[in-house]
Amino acid sequence: MDQRIVGFHRDDEGHWVAELECGHNQHVRHDPPWTNRPWTTSAEGREGALGKRLACRKCDQNAPRDWFS
């Protein structure tokens, strides 16, 4: 299920994590050639990604929320 990105934070290892409108988190690594997300490497890129949608596998699995608003 696609969900909008509403924010970002870093995990304990310094990797960027997208906070989705559904309450789930999803890592958004730029790790070519497997994952190509250069927008994660700058503040401007992450800001431009706010409101865009990512496929949330946790929603598809009916997983509990990672965070609560």
Domain count, the chain: 1
Amino acid identity of residue 25, one-letter, is N
Residue 52 within a domain? yes
Q: How many CB atoms lie within 10 A of CB 37?
A: 17
Query: In this predicted model, what pLDDT tens digit does every residue of 6-45 receive, in sequence order?
Result: 999 999 999 999 999 999 999 999 988 888 999 999 999 9
Residue 68 within a domain? no
Domain extent, residue 35, equals 2-60
pLDDT for the residue 68? 78
Residue 66 within a domain? no
pLDDT for the residue 32? 86
CATH number at residue 20: 2.40.50
Residue 67 within a domain? no
Residue 69 within a domain? no
Q: Is the pLDDT of residue 69 over 90?
A: no
d(CA 68, CA 6): 13
CB-side neighbour CA atoms (13 Å) of 26: 22
Residue 20 within a domain? yes
Measured between its terminal Cα atoms, the distance across the chain in Å is 20
